[in-house]
Amino acid sequence: MALSRLSSSIKAASIKPPVKYLLLLAFGSAQADDQILQRVLVEGSRSNQLGVVDAASAGSISQQELAARTVYRPGEILEAAPGLIVSQHSGEGKANQFYLRGFNLDHGTDLRTTVDDMPVNQRSHAHGQGWTDLNFLIPELAVRLDYKKGPYSAGEGDFASAGTASVVYANRLLQGVASVSAGQNGYARALLADSLEAGQGSLLYAIEALHNDGPYTHPDDYQKLNAVLRYSEGYANNGYNVSLMAYRADWNSTDQIPLRAVHDGQMGRYDAIDPTDGGKSHRYSLSGGWRRTSEDSASRVNAYIIANQLDLYSNFTYFMDDPVHGDQFAQPDKRVTSGLNASHSWHQHLAGGDSATTIGIQLQNDNIFNGLLTTQARQPLAVVRQDHIVESSAGLYVENSMRWNSAFRTVTGARFDSYRFDVRSDLAANSGKAGDHLVSPSLSLIYGPWQTAELYANIGNGFHSNDARGATIRIDPKTGEAVDKVSPLVRSRGMELGARSSWLPGLQSSLSVYRLDFDSELSFVGDAGTTEAGRPSRRYGVELSNYYKPLKWLSVDLDLAYARARSRDEKLEGAPEDDYIPGAIEGTGQLALTVDDGGPYSGALKLRYFGPRPLIEDNSVRSKASLTLNARFGWKLRKGLTLELEAFNLTNRRDSAIDYYYPSQLKGEAAAVNDIHFHPIESRSLRATLVKNF
């Protein structure tokens, strides 16, 4: 039987169980025409993950479900993963802020994110380790989102301890799409995408242009141009593709502002202190993927080269360090990232069961030029530091999936990672070379003698890399004081118990309880705009995810999560006896209703709860919870023509998108003041989109 059929065909009884098992191991639920995209407005039934995934906290979100979501910005597509919050504390062109499993992940640290197997996280970035800018993402091209949580997969490496999110683009479109959007606050967007037959394959193209001011007194004036060109032959499991992507943007930023200035009437919620904050960026990539699948084996290779550049201007402390010129600083970052991923899986028939073993290699090199400068109105005043960094890594892994019988299966893996750092700094004392390596084992046990339920036990080690500059630093370039180096690679240790069930017709539920330890916590430093290594940490948490389709025309999503995060080191003499982790999220929740009776109308509502966080180690200052309600309405005007209306923050709540607590000094203040600094959620806004399929 040909293996280039739909995923549903692969799961059908006509395929031999060993082959079916191998395919699901090699490619998850993604097969063949899964990478052919057809635009739809409403949500279809969620695929059942029983017998497919290896943990209760892992899953896959289909294109139909992604298309039904109401997202204010592209990165929010990741919120389809239960428990994940995507926020923003600056201009729209800046990387999002992420929260998951008791982490304030800053701009992506400990959340490994890929698009078409290309890493999005940027190592040793000027603004923060693991910088994850998803503004180049075109949601209409996303055919699937795969997510995992915890360090239980040997195939995942750096930044994957809290979780992973993998976005897969379509190889070709069943229909072309042209859409035009307009909304409040200067929002405008146009998209054109289609597939053409070319030679033995298909040529997909997509072009996007976007502008958005936001509700701010000083408009964001976010301007984005985005394009994708992809040639593919064959199918997802037997074929290849070559892709070009290009993205450019520039914007102004209204960064977080001090609460005291709003309370005493000095400024409004949407005002800016330094109107010259902002930035510009670009991303260009060339990538290719090749896959071959036979009855008893599967191979996959992908390679990429990515050119990223960011010029970012921020001012978080205003006039605390420099009362004359202000505290604005620039963090330029220019890099070329190249890499290769290759794996081979083979299947073995054993007495009473089946076994599939995968070996893989992951290579990555980053050639980076970045720096830190003091500026005024985006004009340089002084250079704090400038560095040329070459960071290289190699990861080798092996993973065996064994089905012992109809009820019990295991996944055993081990991973070896080696890193090399070469830092050439403008301050000779901070130049140097460093290296590190570690081994990360993992084990998953899955028990499911029932037709409608499975139990999971997972344990494993993971890691995140630290900034290469921290591995060679000797002198703080800002103060001139001696500083200690940090460990290049920081280990994490996780364990999880979970269950998944579909005992009630139409209902799919999963429950997981986990613990995750880190040898060193990465935290955000406001005055430098970077992350630094801190104390060891421990997190406990529980997550509950439900998808219910009680009627053909109604579906309900309910996701709840709670986490407890604490530092766990021995208290140092003279240090505070406090172990809360600033910014660590404690609770999240999402409730979504989707209605479609098959007629011309459809609709959706999504309620998102973003829980409070401690903002200081003794928990004496806390953020407030945020609650937002978004809505979507679709009207099929005629065949191939649809009008979509979206409403964001429907109740017009005055909540925060993010909160920090640190000292700052406003113009006219005699000294710095410790205060909450917040970025408001966007006020209620409406958008209308006209979609033409052809």
Higher pLDDT, 310 or 530: 310
Mean pLDDT of 330-339: 97
CATH code assigned at 498: 2.40.170.20
Distance, first Cα to last Cα, the chain: 33
Q: Cα separation of 508 and 48, whole Å? A: 7
User: What's the pLDDT at 609?
Assistant: 97
Q: Tokens 């290594």: give the residue.
A: 533
Is residue 155 predicted with pLDDT exceeding 80? yes
Whether pLDDT at 682 is above 60: yes
161 within some domain: yes
SS (H, E, C) 65-132: HHHCCCCCCHHHHHHHCCCCEEECCCCCCCCCEEEECCEECCCCCCEEEEECCEECEECCCCCCCCEE
pLDDT at 208 over 60: yes
Q: Is residue 1 part of a domain?
A: no
**DSSP string spanning 437-484?**
EEEEEEEEEEE--SSSEEEEEEEEEEEEEPPHHHHH--B-TTT--B--
Mean pLDDT of 303-326: 96
Going by pLDDT thresholds of 50, 70 and 90, the confidence category of residue 686 is very high
Residue-level length of the chain: 694
In order of 1, 98, 128, 241, 396, the CA distances from 541 in angstroms are 45, 17, 26, 40, 30
Average pLDDT, the chain: 90
pLDDT of residue 294 exceeding 80? yes
Predicted pLDDT of residue 15:
37
pLDDT mean over 542-552: 94
Contacts of 283 (CB under 8 A, 6+ apart): 133, 136, 245, 246, 247, 306, 307, 308, 309
Asked if 413 and 398 touch (Cβ cutoff 8 Å), the reply is yes
Q: Which of 109-113, 251-255, 481-485, 602-606 has the lowest mean pLDDT?
A: 481-485
Tens-digit pLDDT profile for residues 127-145: 989 999 999 999 999 999 9
Please tell me the predicted confidence (pLDDT) of residue 516: 97
Residue 2 covered by a domain: no
Residue 531 confidence (pLDDT): 57
Distance CA 37, CA 228 (A): 15
Tens of pLDDT, residue by residue over 642-672, are 999 999 999 999 999 999 999 999 999 999 9
Provide mean pLDDT across the span 279-293: 97
Q: pLDDT confidence of 570, banded at 50, 70, 90?
A: low
Please give the residue range of the domain that contains residue 396. Answer: 7-693
User: Tell me: the pLDDT tens digits for 215-224?
Assistant: 999 999 999 9
pLDDT at position 565: 95
Q: Answer yes or no: is 218 within a domain.
A: yes
Which pLDDT does position 535 carry in this prediction?
Answer: 87
Average pLDDT over residues 498-522: 93
Asked if pLDDT for residue 7 goes beyond 80, the answer is no
pLDDT greater than 50 at residue 473: yes
For residue 470, is it within any domain? yes
Report yes or no on 115 lying in a domain.
Answer: yes
| Nearest-angstrom CA–CA distance, 383 and 381 | 7
Counted domains in the chain = 1
Q: What is the mean predicted confidence (pLDDT) over 263-283? A: 96
pLDDT exceeds 80 at position 45: no
* 344-370 per-position pLDDT tens digit: 999 988 877 899 999 999 999 999 999
d(Cα 332, Cα 309) in Å, to the nearest integer? 8
Do the domain assignments include residue 226? yes
pLDDT at 396: 98
* The pLDDT value given to residue 5: 29
Q: Residue 529: which pLDDT band, with cuts at 50, 70 and 90? A: very low
Least confident span in 85-94, 576-585, 667-676 = 576-585
Going across the sheet that includes 673-680, the strands are 257-258, 673-680, 656-664
Q: Is the pLDDT of residue 30 over 70?
A: no
Separation of CA 611 from chain center: 19
Above pLDDT 90, what percent of the chain? 81
When mean pLDDT is compared across 104-118, 334-348, 559-573, the lowest value belongs to 559-573
